Chain A
């Protein structure tokens, strides 16, 4: 698919910054989030969770709970489908334990009662007999000989023989001969790196209201990034047909990947079916931390060879990621993205997916890529320091461009990495002088971006306004972007379009709002649905004028005769055609369904200045600049917001956020007090530069922007802190105790 001709024209609406349509609702509190939905006769659900990191469940006695008058239903694993396989089984096993509790916080049973307090109290009346089992929560410990096996026979065919059973998947990519390449280098540096697990930290805890009758027909209202996928998996888990479960998404208070799966929704459905009443479940923050998906923690080795002139001769990386007690930690993404910014003759990457007694990891903004970039970009920074080379010049020397073969295989189409590096180099930030005690770090980052199933419907009203239905929950201002793209195509004002996130009964299947796909894929489908509508509008004009449809064109919101040969007619506006559409052939609506294949990859370059207190180990980010290729920024404010958001989450991950497990295998910091996300006063203003190298796979050139922004921060901040403290930091987060220890060890020699 090539860029449309329109690309070369001036945009009228695209690229402007109108007020978001959901803005008033959000600032006045009128917006309905997951916990805001209620139904008459509604019960409240609560979930009993394992206090042990690993235990066999010998018995669950619910008789005392069910005897309580306020309690209307209790469910355990026996109340869910029993015939599942693969990832469906994994999801079920995660949301309601089977034979064993696999992590601290694993759901064991659930109750529905007439009040939230009664439900919580009833949990204390469920008697569970556990047999405690040995556990392991650290990714490196989990593959040492003798480490407890989380699940026998879980490894798939990719894993070479003779490895620890906790290694369940293996991946490798690359090309050339790395040994030959290392021999050609003037300097080779090899380092080990660790990143701790972090949580997406969305402000809204998971919440849902479910209603499922004995007839197998259900309704679910929930806070999700993908209601079609939620319908599919929930139907499987409770054993009903997907089309009989209608799912309506609420407004969403952040997801960042963590709301791409289900946790409480199938439980609420099972409780509702048993009680035959609607059931609402709202997670507490501690439940969110203990039982929803954080990102993987990682242990990595990276080795890179460089010539004195800055040419990288070879690169090799090993990426071990744990994803909790379930397979599918995104180790292949770490292994694929880590070297993607560089045009390498000799490169090899390997990844291992490892089980631990932790909650099942969920996607978190470019899963796997930030960790891989941290390891690789740290080694490049050290090479630059040792060879006295400018870190941006070195990256420019080695950067991939159109036609280059990616480290993970395919050749790149048109990409904008070099443009981001050049803009970074020219930015005043990069030339600003550092104060004593400060250091500067630079990093590149890469994300694939995703397309996915997409279905859009666009209907005209009699007054000439437009109702656009999309199936991708708005997690970053996408309703505004959709309105802009529809208005651009149709030639009408932005305010004349209302975009609704349609429920699963109202639209074809839509993939989740993930993979930075929404503005790309739903945007593309919106443009095509608008063009479908325009064809129909032109046909109505042609019929009225009694000329051929081909003789009518659509310009500036009007049907016009294509040229002098078509005849002389007054142009017909969209509103004029809509006004009598009932009598001229019926309602007018445009549609488009596709799984597009042109999601353009995206690169970014970040510059960070950090300051270190050498006596306390406290690090502070004092200046931050994001330079990223957006392809085409539909609504530049929301693109900038995504850039800033990625940087901010990266600052948290790099400096203080981490899952802390105790010797008892339990999570020690399941709350925002001790899970230290940055607060506003921790952050500098995040400056942004939007680079626009159009994606040939989208009519306007859009590339996804949501995830790439979190790929460079870990490395850029680590490089800045390492340069400020004059000690290489290889373990994230660089919390004050870790940084102070490193400074003191270096000072002692």
Chain B
């Protein structure tokens, strides 16, 4: 196995492109190193992307859009001025992953590329309508987060492509998100189900919403029916019940050591209600602010 830490994106792309056999990119390494040690794969080349300019940067455009570099440790997100105000759900999702030590290495892009159906970082990004910037030898492209997820552990990134950043759109007033997951413990666990809600409120009424579910299907789901259920409402009991029902209807979970089909489906509805209430309350605060 070879290890390389190229100093430029072009070098990294060339290395990845030219290498025969399996290539893995290394950001924080909190998935890659564990998988290596447990013998899940034996790559021919590991490319550490942390030396590449921009990979550890978080920037905000004058319009308010955010760009989070692929290797930015999750622990940093909460310390960046304005990010939690704009995207509290994304920051809190990252802060649920592993422990303080893990978050000091783990990145949002890594969480995305590992493509676990139960990834805590992904539902919040999907609900946010986040896009990713992808570099390849043929140039740059962008894609919606939800569109690159194919199956457990699988993305549709082409060989040699590198996700360079997560890009979050600018916020309008009265917007907020929230992410909740269910685990049997209080930390250091994997989501049995997770739900992110991102919405905008005007005059106490939900005008736009995106609802995403994790750990209840082979990939993280965007649930348009769940968004429809709360749009145009003041998140009254009927709307919340409709939201929960829409989420449960979208679930296609499995029975496994972490939970049953019935339990996951049930919990998805409960989490959706609670996350919607949380996002709604935050959005109202931001509307009046």
Contacts and interface: CB of A to CB of B under 8 A. Distances in A.
A681 B186 contact: yes
A253 interface: no
Interface stretch (A316-324, A384-392, A434-442, A735-743): A735-743
Interface stretch (B51-59, B71-79, B221-229, B260-268): B260-268
Q: Is the interface of A mostly helix, strand, loop or mixed?
A: loop
A668 interface: yes
A735 B184 contact: yes
A219 B133 CA distance: 60
8 A-B pairs with the lowest CB-CB distances in the bound complex, closest first: A737-B263, A681-B186, A668-B257, A660-B257, A615-B270, A669-B257, A656-B184, A679-B188
A286 B258 CA distance: 17
B184 A740 contact: no
B182 A616 contact: yes
Nearest to A669: B257
A190 interface: no
Given A669-B257, A674-B190, A741-B262, 4 more contacts: A673-B189, A674-B258, A736-B182, A736-B192
A655 interface: yes
Interface string B174-199: 00000000101111111010000000
Contacts of A673: 189-190
Contacts of A678: 185
Highest count of chain B CB atoms <10 Å: which of A617, A668, A669:
A617
A676 B182 CA distance: 14
A741 B263 CA distance: 8
B256 interface: yes
B259 interface: yes
Interface string A577-613: 0000000000000000000000000000000000000
A393 interface: no
A656 B182 CA distance: 14
A616 B267 contact: yes
B260 A679 contact: no
Contacts of B190: 673-674
Contacts of A736: 182, 184, 192, 259, 263, 267
Interface of B: 38-39, 182, 184-190, 192, 256-260, 262-263, 266-267, 270
A646 B267 CA distance: 32
A740 B266 CA distance: 9
B188 A737 contact: no
Contacts of A674: 190, 257-258
A740 B189 contact: no
A618 interface: yes
5 contacts: A286-B38, A655-B184, A656-B184, A678-B185, A737-B263
Interface in A394-435: none
A4 interface: no
B52 to A, nearest CB: 30
Nearest to A618: B184
Contacts of B192: 736
Contacts of B188: 679
A616 B184 CA distance: 10
Contacts of B184: 618, 655-656, 676, 735-736
A725 to B, nearest CB: 15
Interface of B is mostly: loop
B270 A616 contact: yes
B197 to A, nearest CB: 17
Interface string A29-59: 0000000000000000000000000000000
A678 B267 CA distance: 21
A568 interface: no
Contacts of B266: 740
Interface centre among B188, B190, B192, B256 (most CB of A within 10 A): B188
Interface string A651-686: 000011000100000001100011010110110000
Contacts of B262: 737, 741
Contacts of B270: 615-616
Most chain B CB neighbours (cut-off 10 Å) among A286, A676, A678: A676
B253 to A, nearest CB: 12
B185 A676 contact: yes
Interface string A255-269: 000000000000000
A466 to B, nearest CB: 43
A660 B186 CA distance: 21
Contacts of B186: 679, 681-682
Nearest to A733: B184
B185 A679 contact: yes
A679 B187 CA distance: 7
Contacts of B267: 616, 736
Interface string A500-538: 000000000000000000000000000000000000000
A669 B39 CA distance: 17
Most buried by B among A618, A669, A673, A737: A737
B101 to A, nearest CB: 13
A280 B190 CA distance: 34
Nearest to B34: A673
Given A736-B263, A740-B263, A741-B262, A682 B185 contact: yes
B274 to A, nearest CB: 9
Contacts of A617: 263
A52 to B, nearest CB: 19
Contacts of B258: 674
A681 B188 CA distance: 10
A678 to B, nearest CB: 7
A457 B266 CA distance: 63
Nearest to B266: A740
B35 to A, nearest CB: 13
A676 B189 contact: yes
A286 B188 CA distance: 18
A522 to B, nearest CB: 37
Nearest to B192: A736
Nearest to B190: A673
B259 A737 contact: yes
A673 B97 CA distance: 13
A668 B189 contact: no
Contacts of B39: 120
Interface in A622-664: 655-656, 660
A668 B258 CA distance: 10
Contacts of B263: 617, 736-737, 740-741
Nearest to A675: B257
Contacts of B260: 737
Nearest to B270: A615
A655 to B, nearest CB: 7
A681 B256 contact: no
Give the residue among B182, B185, B187, B270 with the most A Cβ atoms within 10 A. Answer: B185
A172 B91 CA distance: 59
Nearest to A674: B257
Contacts of A660: 257
A673 B185 CA distance: 11
A616 to B, nearest CB: 6
Contacts of B187: 679, 681
Nearest to B274: A615
A737 B258 CA distance: 9
A737 B186 CA distance: 16
B3 to A, nearest CB: 16
Nearest to A736: B184
Contacts of A669: 257
A47 to B, nearest CB: 14
Nearest to B261: A737
Nearest to A662: B257
A547 B188 CA distance: 71
Nearest to B182: A616
A120 B39 CA distance: 10
B188 to A, nearest CB: 5
Nearest to A673: B190
Contacts of A668: 256-257
Nearest to A679: B188
B289 to A, nearest CB: 31
Which of A120, A655, A673: most chain B Cβ within 10 A?
A673
A735 B39 CA distance: 30
